[in-house]
């Protein structure tokens, strides 16, 4: 397990210094309008601290997947406007990332002011972690701050490469992620319960393996549960199934037994004939034992008895980590399992951590976010963290 005892913005003197800050401003947009400014709001404490301390702040981020081409659809124009509103101070957007406009605006910055570079992924060298691009970005600043946890699992020029040329520390967002999630994985209050959902076993192979060496109870729901149920000899009908991972599932069940870890699988399942089309279509469902799904039916959510079983495990825990929904939660009829887990986390007195992606979205949509100890800002990054992997955007920072 990587231990991340990294220096943060309070460990260095930033007054009068030009500080390059990598944020995660990859916000959802529709017709050029931001539909959720959550990621911008979450970056504010770091930005305000630096501005209040008299730093000259150079912000940067990616947006979408422009594939190394300048594409107005992925411009950070709307982000700069929203940032300016939230800070009550204009944050000009540069016309480029490391071109003449960016360099001129960076050089002209006064203490306590901020600018925003244009989308880092407009430069094809970004995702290749090209040292020349990293050096050019670093040449505009004296210090590098990474506060983009959502991109910390990527070894890109703006997330890791610049740390080769500048003293590098983390912002408050990454600081919180690594302290909360790091403690949960390295020194949890017990019983420690992990809940894994989502569609595919293959997405969570290393996570399951890593967690079986750390948790007291591992709960498996979502589409990935059906391969485990098939590995136990159950009938799963037309449910999601990964034939290549059956042996792996058997290995993991044996490992759980050997480690004294309680492995909980669904005991009943919500079944229907066909996958909902459209996704929110009204459905007629029924419930069966999860190992007795009829040949022409598919399981698309955990059943009522399983909801109780999983909730009971959560309510008896001291630390809970959850990553991945229990069913096709985009459909109201098939969201009951995910809602039950979110409710159990919200009602629990445990330290509760939700790892980005769909489970985070579910907590937000269902209105339980304020009851959760920590909701991770990075889906892919939090998964790799749970796998025990080094995150390039964090391991490159200075140790305390």
What pLDDT, in 10s, does the model give residues 123-173?
Answer: 999 999 999 999 999 999 999 999 999 999 999 999 999 999 999 999 999
pTM here is 0.87
Catalytic positions:
39, 200, 357, 380
Per CATH, the number for 180-386 is 3.40.50.1260
DSSP states along 345-361? HHH--SEEEE-SHHHHH
Q: What is the mean pLDDT of residues 203-231?
A: 94
**Which CATH topology does 9-172 take?**
Rossmann fold (3.40.50)
Strands 18-22 and 143-146: parallel
Q: Tens digits of per-residue pLDDT, 301-329?
A: 999 999 999 999 999 999 999 999 999 99
Sign of CA dihedral 275, 276, 278, 280: negative
Strands 18-22 and 29-30: unpaired
Q: Six-digit token pair at 221?
A: 């729901």
The answer to whether residue 1 scores a pLDDT higher than 60 is no
Question: What is d(CA 172, CA 68) in angstroms, rounded to the nearest whole number?
Answer: 29
Angle (deg, nearest 10), helices 379-386 and 172-186:
30
HSE, CB side, 13 Å, CA atoms: give it for residue 382: 28
Which helix H or strand E contains 270, and what residues bound it? strand 268-272
Q: Six-digit token pair at 238?
A: 């037309």
In the chain, which segments carry CATH 3.40.50.1260? 9-172, 180-386
Q: Six-digit token pair at 166?
A: 């500048």
């Amino acid at each position: 397990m990587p231990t991340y005892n990294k220096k943060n913005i309070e460990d260095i003197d930033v007054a009068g210094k030009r500080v390059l800050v990598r944020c995660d401003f990859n916000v959802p947009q529709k017709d050029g309008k931001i539909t959720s400014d959550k990621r911008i709001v979450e970056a504010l404490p770091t930005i305000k601290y630096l501005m209040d301390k008299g730093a000259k702040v150079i912000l940067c981020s990616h947006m979408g997947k422009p594939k190394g081409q300048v594409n107005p659809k992925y411009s950070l124009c709307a982000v700069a406007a929203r940032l300016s509103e939230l800070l009550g101070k204009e944050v000009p957007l540069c016309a480029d990332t490391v071109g003449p406009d960016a360099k001129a605006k960076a050089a002209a910055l006064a203490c306590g002011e901020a600018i925003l570079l244009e989308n880092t992924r407009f430069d094809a060298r970004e995702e290749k972690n090209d040292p020349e691009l990293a050096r050019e970005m670093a040449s505009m600043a004296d210090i590098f701050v990474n506060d983009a946890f959502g991109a910390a699992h990527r070894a890109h020029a703006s997330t890791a490469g610049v740390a080769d040329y500048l003293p590098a520390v983390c912002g408050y967002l990454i600081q919180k992620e690594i302290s909360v999630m790091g403690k949960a994985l390295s020194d949890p209050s017990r019983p420690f319960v992990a809940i894994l959902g989502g569609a595919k076993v293959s997405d969570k192979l290393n996570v399951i393996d890593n967690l079986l060496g750390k948790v007291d109870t591992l709960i498996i729901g979502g589409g990935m549960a059906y391969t485990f149920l098939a590995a136990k000899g159950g009938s799963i009908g037309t449910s999601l199934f990964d034939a290549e991972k059956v042996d792996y599932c058997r290995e993991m069940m044996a490992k759980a037994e050997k480690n004294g870890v309680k492995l909980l699988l669904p005991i009943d399942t919500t079944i229907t004939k066909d996958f909902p089309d459209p996704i929110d279509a009204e459905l007629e469902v029924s419930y069966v034992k999860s190992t007795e799904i009829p040949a022409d039916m598919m399981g698309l959510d955990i059943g009522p008895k399983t909801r109780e079983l999983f909730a009971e495990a959560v309510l008896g825990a001291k630390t809970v980590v959850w990553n991945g929904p229990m069913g096709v939660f985009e459909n109201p009829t098939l969201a009951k399992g995910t809602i039950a887990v979110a409710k159990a986390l919200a009602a629990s007195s445990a330290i509760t951590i939700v790892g980005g992606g769909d489970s985070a979205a579910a907590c937000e949509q269902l209105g339980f976010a304020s009851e959760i100890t920590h909701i991770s800002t990075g889906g892919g990054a939090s998964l790799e963290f749970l796998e025990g992997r080094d995150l390039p955007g964090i391991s490159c920072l200075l140790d305390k």
